[in-house]
Each structure stands twice: as C-alpha cells, then as structure tokens.
Structure 1
C-alpha cells in the first residue's frame, strides 16, 4: 500500500475503459493456504499470478466501466485493503505490457510492433546466452494427441502405477546384483567411438518417449499441447513439448504429475532396458539396451530428475512447495536480503509471502547456484576435451552468465539506480568491506593444510612366513588370530613325489655303499674313487631332500600372534616354495605403506610438518608416525586391492590389467614408521594425514584449477 490513496496522474487514466482480451482465462489457485488467481493467456501461452486484491480490479474490467468506477467499486469490496491509485496504475501498465487487456483508446500500432520486435530480440538473445540449450518449435501436436487421447487413461491410472512400481523395483534389484558388471570399465565403454554413435541414435528416441509422457499426462487432466520441436542440448538434437498449460490446473497434484511424467516414463524405459540387458546375449541389442539404461538413468539423475536445474523435477518441487517461479523468486529473495540489510534499503519488499517461503528460497538459491556451477564446469570440460576451441568459448560464455552478468547488474544498480542516490556512500563502504574481506579470507588468512590419503598396514620382512617347500597343504595347525609360541608347528604339507625321491636316493646310497666296499676289498682303487664321489653326490641330494621335507612343516620362529595370508579354506591347495603363508605379528615397530596421488606428492615431499595415522577399526585414536622412505619412482601397482575404488579406497583400477591391482594413473608409495603400534591385521586399511604449512584458500584453489586444466585439457 502506498502512503496516499490518490495520485497526481490519475486524471490521465481515470476515463479509460479497460477489458480483458477474449483469449484470457482466469483460474483460482491455492498456494500455501492463500488464494491466488492465475490468468492464462492462450495466445502467448504465458501465465500470470495475481492477488485477490488485484483480481477484484481485474474482474471488473468489462469494457463498460471506466478505471475510476472500477477503483471505487473495488474499494467498496476490499475496505481497508483498498489499493491506492498509484497501485492501480501500476497494475494497469503490467496488464497492458503483457497484452492481457485492451481499452477504448486507439492502440499505438508502432508501440505494439516495437514490443513484438523486442520479444523477438529477447528470444534470440536468450538462444545466444544459452548455446547449450537452444529450442526450435516445429509443429502443433494437439490434433494427434486428440486422436489418441484414450491412451492417456491407460498410462495414468492406479493399475499402471502398480505395474510401474513392480518393474522399477525389479530393475533396481537387478542393478544392485549386476553392479560390478554394469560399472566395470564404464568410462572406456561409454566414450568408445562406436558407443558414442549408439548414444547419438538412442538418446533422441528415449527423449521423444519422455516428451510424449508429458503430453499424455497433460491430456489426461484436460490440458492442451500446442508446441513441439527440437532442443539442441549440448549440440545433440532432442525433442521437446510445451506442457506449460498444466499451470492452469487448480489442484497441484495433476501439475506435479505432468512435471514428473517424463521422469516416470524414463524410469520405465530404464526398467525395460534392464530386462533386455540381463537376458540378451552380448551384441548390438545388449549394447543398445545398456545405452538406453545409461541415458534413462544417469541423465534423469543429473538433469530431469534434479530439482536444482530448471527441468522436470524443478517444476515438481515448485508445485509441491506451492512456490511458483521458485528459481527467479529465490534469486530476488537473495537480492532483497542484500539490499535490505547491507544497503539499508528499507523500502524493499521481500518476494516471499511467508517465513516458510523465505527459508525455502534462500536454501534453493544457494544450492542451485552451487550445482549449476558444478554441472556447467563438468559439461564445459567434457566438450573442451573433445572440441577444444568450442569448449573454451563455452567456458567464457558460461563464466559471463554465472558471474560477469550478475556483477555488471550489481554495479549498474549501485551507481546508476535512483534509489541509491542517498546510499552510495554506504554502498561504496559495503563493496569495499566485502571485497577486502573476501581478499583477506582468500589470500591472507592461512588455514590448516593437509593431505589425507589411504594406506595399508605393512609388515616387515621378518614377520612374513614363507612356504619352505613345494607341496599340498594338509593341515593348518593354528587358526588365524591365535597366539603361538616359538617352535610351534603352523602348517603341515605333503609331497608324495618328494617322499618317493627320498626313498630312491636312500636306496641308491645303500647300493653304492655295497659297490664301494666290494671295490675296496678287490683293491680297484680307481673304481672305488668314482663310487665314493657318487655316494657323496647322493648324500648331498638326500640332504637337500630332507631339508625340503622339513620345509613341508612351517614352524613359528618366535612368540607372537599368527595371521593367515592364504584364502579362508586353503586345505589341499598346492603351495609353491616361497608362497606367503601368513604373518607372525608382534607388538613393536611396524610400517605403513601410504599411497599418494599426483596432486599431493609435491606437498608430501617438500612441505611436510607432521604425520599421523588412524586405523580403520579404531578411528577415534590418532597415532603419530614418521616418514622413513619413498619408493624411488611413480608406479601403478597398488600394495593392496583395499586401496582401489572397488575395495573402498581412492584409486580407480586399470580395467586392462587383471593379474594384480593396478591404478589407472601413476601413484607414489611412502613408508611410515609407527612405533609401539598394537598388533593388527596385515593389509588393514589406515588413514594417513600429512600436515603441511598453513596456506590461504585462494592459492590452493588456483593450484586445483590449474591441475584440472592440465589433466583434462593439457592446457
């Protein structure tokens, strides 16, 4: 409400007789317990929301009453809520700008033409600003949808919903069961040239069904679809339909169903693709099903199914919260808070109509901004890795849209808006303080810096128990984890061939001894000498055989706790000589082998202030450690599969190497000394924290951005 009910400009418009255009339809909606009126413009497809006070004026615009009569009549209805003359003039100008009313005054043809030309330029400019999502209208699908409207009742009913739940639930269970097979070597499979061609073919088809889901949902609840075309999303042509007519639905749940229809349809497509993928033989059909599953699943999760982007889930969330125009109003709410509390603009009004709306708007504005930055950077890096110069242009345009354009708007408001004439000193102070504070926080204030990596409990060579001879394991005399004494038998193996060889060697020695005595008795000195050498060789062979036989029994060299290194049931397995059988653990000095990625190795080598370790089973306890060594060069072999992503670690495995765990990118190995560490399992995961010199966040962000550019673009 204005301070005064009257306006000095009222005499200019008081005699005007406005009336709503014939293509305008008004619907009564309920948002968060408050009544609103939504005006639908069938000519432009736009929707406009007005308060009951505004509707009291609009409803009287029949072309017979002049504006002064309308104002007085509305005043009689509204009483204390009566609008001022300035507010009525503002409402009239709003209705006129969006072509919802006409008056008895001869229209300004030049002005109308200028407005149409401005709208056309705005659409072209929007296409230039958003080159990743360009829309081209092609046809009106309404006649086709009318002929097939019966299909909508089959698609959207309780029985169809139950079938959908069963299919999607089954597909989710299958995805969990086949997760390793679905995700194995995923990047190489998806980005292979032949697979990219399949995606290019399958994606538009999946999205066509998606869009018809919106269209039939709209028909199911009585709406109309008059626009269908192509949208180039990241240069890929996909169909779209204009389902904005659902905004006229009085009940929010049909509106939500129209918005969610595409997600529902894609989930069903993913379920059907899972059926084909599970039961089809390897080949083209299975590859097409995999790509349909990938498109209907991943794209839905990242785009259509994510309310932080203005796709399907965004409109579902806005309807569920009953906050129309959630995205734009959230931005305006942040602007209101800044103007009101930073710039002391007391006349500013919040776009939120309740505290609940205000909280949702602030949360949504921050969350959506962060996610838009993440998804835009991901898309730009992907495009730049394939098309470098186009990616760079997209990066510049994206940075301008996300940061440059809002910054220019802020500067323009601070120094050119008339409402800031009396506040420019405060504005300059606020800008200076915020800029200085940001600079200090980013580039002056040091914050703790550390590298947290994974490692494994690494036993010294003296703790390793190796098989002393080839044989088949017959007995594991001690269970893993039990204490043992020095000299106690741990393993017993058998080797029938070795036993036969020992028997033959012993028999040969007896035979040679008989021949030797006979040669000595008959004084055949030369022959006796030769036989003696053979006896010595046979005895050496017997000695080696006996040593191997003793090696079939593995004996504990000292007191400690035994840990088995073989599989759970190693009995009757052939164990070659030198096989690691287990460990003899003793409380004392042990080492940890930590695996460091390329991004952290420089700081670990050149700026190390301290090291601490936490064992995965006792995370609450921090154990000090000392860096004692480094494997001289980078390598890909990991000390343990527990350090891979599949084992819960940090490093992706190279899918081309099956024999041993090998990282996709080179890593660096460091050995840590941990004194008086309690006995633990060899190979147990540990978390290692390397502490470095504190450093401001800005320098770290710069290094991270530089590493990302080098890794993704070699730039």
Structure 2
C-alpha cells in the first residue's frame, strides 16, 4: 500500500485571491518565450509572467487552497511546490498590492495632466471621463451594433470599394484636378480629419461593446499635423481573440462607413461635374485612409490586428531581433521555438515585400494621375 499524502501545512490551507479587477492576458509570444501580462487597472502597472506562474496566479480566486492548486500544478508540470515557492510568488503579488485583503492599494489614479508637451509636440486631453463618454455613445449606437446590421454594412462598404476600384483612373484624375484648387482641397482635408476623429471614437465604442474600457480621449499633435486619439486600456486582456480584432479593426470600418453618404452623392452627379470631382477625390483619399490603416506595419491598425491574430506582442522589434540573431548565430536562432521562427521570419520578409509593393503602387498612381491630367 502506498503511504498517504502528508497533510498540508497551515500555509497550504490558505485560500488567497487576487484583488478584484486584476487583469490577466491570454498567452502571448514575446521573442522566444510565451508570456502572460498582469495589469493593475488602478495603478496602470503591468508586468510579465511565464505560463507556469500564470497557471498558479490565474487560480488564486479564493475558492481553492494552495495545496489544491499545488496538486493541480504537479499533475500539469510534474513538479510539486513547496512553501518556499509559494512564499516567493505571494510575496511578489503582495509587494505589488495585487492580493485581496492585503495593504490598501490607495485610491484609483486620476487622469494625468490635461495638456503635456510643447506647442510643437504634445497631447491635450479633451474629455474628463473618457470611459463614461464612450459608454453614452455606445448606448446611443447599440441598435446598429448587432452582428446582422454590421454584416450588411460591411457588404455595402465592400461593394462601394469595388465600384471605386473600377473607377480608379477617373478618381486619380479628380485628385490631380483637386490639388490645384486650394479651397475645395481644404474642404476635403477637413472632412478627412473629421474621419480620423470618427476612426478613434469607433475604437472606443467597439471596446465598450466587448467589455473593454477607454482611458483617454484627446488631441495629439506634432505640428503641422494634429489628430484625435482614443486609448483603450484593456484590449490586450480581452479573453476572446475576435473581440480584440473587432476593437483594432473598428477604426478602418468607421472610415469606410463615413464615405457612404458622399458615395451616394457622387453617383448622382454626372462625370466632369466640379462637385463630383471634389467628391471623387474625397472618396479616393478616404478609401486610401481606411485601407492603408489595415496594412500590417507599425503603427497602423493592421499591425495591431496581425499581432492579436497571432497572439504575439512586439512583433516588429522581436522579428528584427530574431533576424539579426539568425544572421549572426544560426545555432542560437535555432533555439527559438518553431512557431516563433516561422512567425518572425515570415513577418520580416513579408513586411519588406509589402513596403516595396506599396512604394511601387504609389509611384504608379502618381504616374497615372499625371498622365490622365496631361493634354
């Protein structure tokens, strides 16, 4: 007969719990390692832990004793935990004030200064409570946020982009025509700026719709450029991948929706009409604004979407680091997991090819516009 398991010590009978609201991310590839992010929303502080630590931390819910969690850990990883291991982990969590019943973490941090930076470069917070403001906007838009409605709107946007693609030559000519007319050019630029504001609010509304929170809404400038921004605090901690993708892609979708009334107006005008030419240029630039944002290069939304889809953090810098290591020491690079090697090498090569294609497309578009505007 096997001897019975020793009774758990007093410490192992404890049932500690994380403080309510502590965020844990899904697994993320970071270089050669898989990590989870832990964040305290009250302080904004976050740090990384490995899969084994996540296994333990994610089970600290007050319903299971340390002995029970340790037994499950032993079955999963083939190693039992002693009191010393628990003291080290709980000491770390306690020092960061992440445990329920521990020292008072203090009041939630208020918003930062309303304005930071200088006249040439800085930010301006525009809303005192960005999350509450976005919640009101989300409540107003909730009827159109049903999947069937969004699906129909997406099909309409794709159909519109198909029509515009078929009229690309005409639209390029309209753009070249517009560049020589300052007054309508300013009007188009103002509408495109408004579209960027809609883009940012769409990120916030999408975050609220899937359980995210919005930390700040404001204006960021680096003269002569000034754009709106909307900071989603916890999108990386959303459990479902599709929710993360929805938040990241909402901005470009909103840009396409913004163009729909102008497209209807444009189709009602005859070719060559001056207003129609202004609208044609707007539709071309607005479509480019939306679609370029989906390109998977930092800091564009497409890069964020790809990172969420692959569950990778710091994709571009980690890919560059892997390539440098591979060129310098192939044996060291071979120590990366196979999935990491495929992702990083594929991204580095793919992004280089993409940059060349985009540059070629831009040159071709300019030449076509010049040729169409010529005698």
The TM-score normalised by the length of structure 1 is 0.39
- Partners of 1:89 and 1:183 lie apart in 2 by 67
- Contact persistence 1:168–1:267 (CA under 8 A): yes
Q: Deviations over 1:652-679 (max 9, x none)?
A: 537252xxxxxxxxxxxxxxxxxxxxxx
- Partners of 1:134 and 1:372 lie apart in 2 by 29
Which of 261, 278, 281 is matched with 2:267 structurally? 278
Secondary structure, aligned partner of 1:250: coil
- Partners of 2:55 and 2:319 lie apart in 1 by 28
Name the Cα RMSD after superposition.
5.0
Give the Å deviation of 1:144: 2.4
- Contact persistence 2:319–2:348 (CA under 8 A): yes
Which of 279, 289, 296 is matched with 1:299 structurally? 289
Which of 642, 653, 659 is matched with 2:371 structurally? 653
Mapping for residues 7-156 of structure 1, pairs under 5 Å:
24-26=22-24, 37-45=36-44, 50-58=49-57, 76=74, 79-80=77-78, 99=96, 101=98, 135-139=123-127, 140-156=129-145
Q: State the match for 1:161 in structure 2.
A: 150
Question: Greater share of strand residues, 1 or 2?
Answer: 1
2:263 is the alignment partner of 1:264: no
Secondary structure, aligned partner of 1:184: helix
Structure 1: 5+ residue runs without aligned partners? 1-17, 107-119, 380-644, 658-715
2:346 is the alignment partner of 1:358: no
Q: State the match for 2:310 in structure 1.
A: 321
Secondary structure, aligned partner of 2:371: coil
Q: Deviations over 1:104-150 (max 9, x none)?
A: 999xxxxxxxxxxxxx9xxx9xx89xx9x965443232222323433
Mapping for residues 571-586 of structure 1, pairs under 5 Å:
none
- Partners of 2:259 and 2:134 lie apart in 1 by 25
Give the Å deviation of 1:155: 3.0
Give the Å deviation of 1:23: 5.1
Secondary structure, aligned partner of 1:149: helix
Q: State the match for 1:253 in structure 2.
A: 242
Structure 2: 5+ residue runs without aligned partners? 1-15, 104-111
Q: State the match for 1:330 in structure 2.
A: 319
Give the Å deviation of 1:330: 2.0
- Contact persistence 1:134–1:233 (CA under 8 A): yes
- Partners of 2:20 and 2:297 lie apart in 1 by 37
Could you say which structure has the greater relative contact order, defined with CA pairs below 8 angstroms and 6 or more residues apart?
2
Q: State the match for 2:106 in structure 1.
A: none
Give the Å deviation of 1:327: 2.5
- Contact persistence 1:214–1:258 (CA under 8 A): yes
Give the Å deviation of 1:205: 0.8
Residues 215 and 337 of structure 1: CA distance in aligned 2, closer, same or farther (over 3 Å): same
Residues 87 and 256 of structure 1: CA distance in aligned 2, closer, same or farther (over 3 Å): farther
- Partners of 2:81 and 2:214 lie apart in 1 by 37
- Contact persistence 2:37–2:46 (CA under 8 A): yes
- Partners of 2:170 and 2:265 lie apart in 1 by 15
- Contact persistence 1:308–1:367 (CA under 8 A): no
- Contact persistence 2:125–2:219 (CA under 8 A): yes
Give the Å deviation of 1:254: 1.4
Give the Å deviation of 1:53: 0.5
Q: Deviations over 1:184-242 (max 9, x none)?
A: 16345236433442243212211111122212211221222121111336732221111
Which of 279, 289, 314 is matched with 1:289 structurally? 279
- Contact persistence 1:24–1:42 (CA under 8 A): yes
Residues 284 and 28 of structure 1: CA distance in aligned 2, closer, same or farther (over 3 Å): same
- Partners of 1:375 and 1:231 lie apart in 2 by 27
- Partners of 2:94 and 2:354 lie apart in 1 by 37
Give the Å deviation of 1:183: 1.5
- Contact persistence 2:252–2:291 (CA under 8 A): no
- Partners of 1:360 and 1:81 lie apart in 2 by 31
- Partners of 1:173 and 1:61 lie apart in 2 by 52
- Partners of 2:321 and 2:140 lie apart in 1 by 41
- Contact persistence 1:198–1:288 (CA under 8 A): no
